[in-house]
Amino acid sequence: MSGCLFCQIAQGERPSHTIFAGDGEMAFLDIFPCAPGHTLVIPRQHYATLSDMPPEEVGRLFQAAAMVAAKVQGALGAAGFNLGINNGKAAGQEVFHVHIHIIPRYPGDGGGSMKSVAHFKGKENLEAIAAKLRPAFASP
C-alpha cells in the first residue's frame, strides 16, 4: 500500500535492519527500541490491524514471531521477552500495518508485565462479563 512505512520496508524501498526475511513474513529492528533487540515482525502483505487478517495468515505471523523471538532471546542472552500487538488507536497503534513487537527482557530492566498497559481500578463482576461474552462463541 503506497504511503505505508512497513510496506515500503517489506518491498525494500525503505531501509531497515532486517534480521529475518521469509516469503510471507519478515522481522526488523524497531527504529526507536525500548529494549536492546526490540524487533517487529510483519506480514509482507498489507493489513492495517490483526482484525483484518485471515486466520491462516494470523497463524503464520505468530509462528514467525515465536521463531524470531526465541532466536533473538538466545542470540542476545535475554532472560525472556514480551510479545505483543498494539491493535487499534486506543491500544497505542501508530503504524497501521499489522506488526508484532518482540521486546527482549533483561534482569533489572525496570519494565513491567503486559498488565501494565492498562490501569483498571474498578471492580468487575467476572461472571456477568463472561455471560456477555459466551454468546459470541456459540456455534450458529
Contact residues: ligand 5GP, CB under 6 A: 5, 16, 28-32, 86, 92-95
Name the grid cell of 50.
490483526
DSSP string, 17-40: -EEEE-SSEEEEE-SS-SSTT-EE
Residue 62 CB, nearest distance to ligand 5GP (Å)? 16
Closest to ligand 5GP by CB, 89 or 132:
89
Cell 462463541 belongs to which residue? 137
47 contact choice in Zn ion, ligand 5GP, none (CB below 5 to 8 Å, kind-dependent): none
97 φ, ψ to 5°? -135, 115
Structural contact between residues 59 and 25, judged by C-beta atoms closer than 8 angstroms:
no
Which of ligand 5GP, Zn ion, none does residue 28 bind to, with CB < 5 to 8 Å depending on kind?
ligand 5GP
Residue 58 touching Zn ion (CB under 5 A): no
Interface mask toward Zn ion for 27-46; x: CB under 5 A: -------------------x
31 binds, among ligand 5GP, Zn ion, none (CB under 5 to 8 A by kind): ligand 5GP
17 tagged catalytic: no
Residues with catalytic annotation?
A: 99
